[in-house]
Structure 1
Amino acid sequence: MAKRIILLRAVNVGPAQLPMARLREIAAELGATDVSTYIASGNLIADVPGAPDTFDRALEQAIEKEFGFFRESISRTPTQLKAALDAHPFTVDEPKYSYVSFLLDAPTAEAIAKAETYETGKDEWAIIGTEMHIKYANGAGRPEMKTDSIIRALKVAGTARNLNTVKKLIDLADG
């Protein structure tokens, strides 16, 4: 068993409602232990059996089967979350304006070049490995850049958490 922080993309927004209590139960049914969630936005911390990618895909399938919507499951170890936080390349004036988008895979150089053609205004982003780091000048609620268009250009699914949430998830995973 390995401790993982599992991040689900776009749950509890619009019609994709996923109660966190049920998410914990599904994870346990898949063999996870020491299962907990943090806030209602698809943050799961658990010791997972076997290969993490196998668990992530099984979790996606279980959620889709029960709730009728597909949402990517992207997991990292606590050490990987710490490394992503430490690698954040932008000055952090306000942690809730700075994000790490955890990606399923590293985007190709061609995809990054395409994404770099989009205007960002005062917002900034950078790819480091399998993470997209973002700093919104005025917060995610008032972005100057078209984050969704950039993500589509990268051709890799991801899910973002602000730096406050990333720090909290690390703290919870460490115990």
Structure 2
Amino acid sequence: MTRYVAFLRAVNVGGRQVKMEILRALFEQAGFKNVKTYIQSGNVIFDAGSSAAALEPKIERLLAQNLGFEVPACIRSVAEIQAVLDNNPYPRVVPDKDLQIYIAFLQTLPGEKAAVVLESMQSDIETYRMNGKEVYVLMKKNVGAPPFSNNYLEKKLGLVATTRNLATVQKVSVC
């Protein structure tokens, strides 16, 4: 069995309210073991014997059938999440009220043009770095600019993504 985290996209935003106890129950009914959730933003930690690639469509079908709407899932093993944390391109940055680090988990590997797209998105407020299926975003806050948007990143890259702040990723890595 491998320990995984399902980062679910668009849970408890835009009127799509899902209680975490319902998510836990659905995952348990699907046969996953040691199921936990972390905060209300759709982070489900569980054990499974399948690969992440096999789990994503299974979980998406499970949620669509039981919740009545699509919920994209980006699955990573706890070992992969630790590698994501170890590869943080901003290791000396301590997030605070003025600065935040986000990690966007992509469902698929981006194509070659993704690096060019991310380069075009760089600004004095946002810095993007890509590593595999993750995009790290260093965001200055409280500067009069709109906050970071997962939807904007998805639209620019043409890929499914779901984003968490660094503190959340750190917490789920040890659940």
State the aligned residue count.
Answer: 171
Q: 1:102 aligns with which of 102, 105, 122?
A: 105
Equivalence for 2:164? 161
CA deviation profile, 1:13-67 (whole Å, cap 9, x unmatched): 1221111111111111111011110111100110013233222211111211222
CA distance 1:52–1:106, change in 2 (3 Å): closer
Greater helix fraction, Structure 1 or Structure 2: 1
1:77 CA drift (Å): 1.1
Aligned residue type for 1:137: K
Equivalent residues of 1:112, 1:153 under 8 A apart: no
| Structure 2 portions without partners, runs of 5+ | none
- C-alpha deviation, 1:119, in angstroms: 5.2
| Residue 36 of structure 2 is aligned to residue 36 of structure 1 | yes
1:29-108 paired onto structure 2 within 5 Å = 29-90=29-90, 91-94=92-95, 97-108=100-111
Q: Is the Cα contact below 8 Å between 2:104 and 2:150 reproduced in 1?
A: no
TM-score by length of 2: 0.87
The 2-side partners of 1:73 and 1:29 are apart by: 18
Where does structure 1 lack aligned partners over 5 or more consecutive residues? Answer: none
Deviation of 1:86 after TM superposition, in Å, equals 1.4
Who is 2:4 aligned against?
Answer: 4
- Aligned residues: CA RMSD: 2.2
Q: What percentage of aligned pairs have identical amino acids?
A: 29
CA distance in 2, matches of 1:12, 1:107: 27
Distance change in 2, residues 1:120/1:71 (3 Å): farther
* Aligned amino acid, residue 78 of structure 2: P
Pick the aligned partner of 2:152 from 126, 138, 149: 149
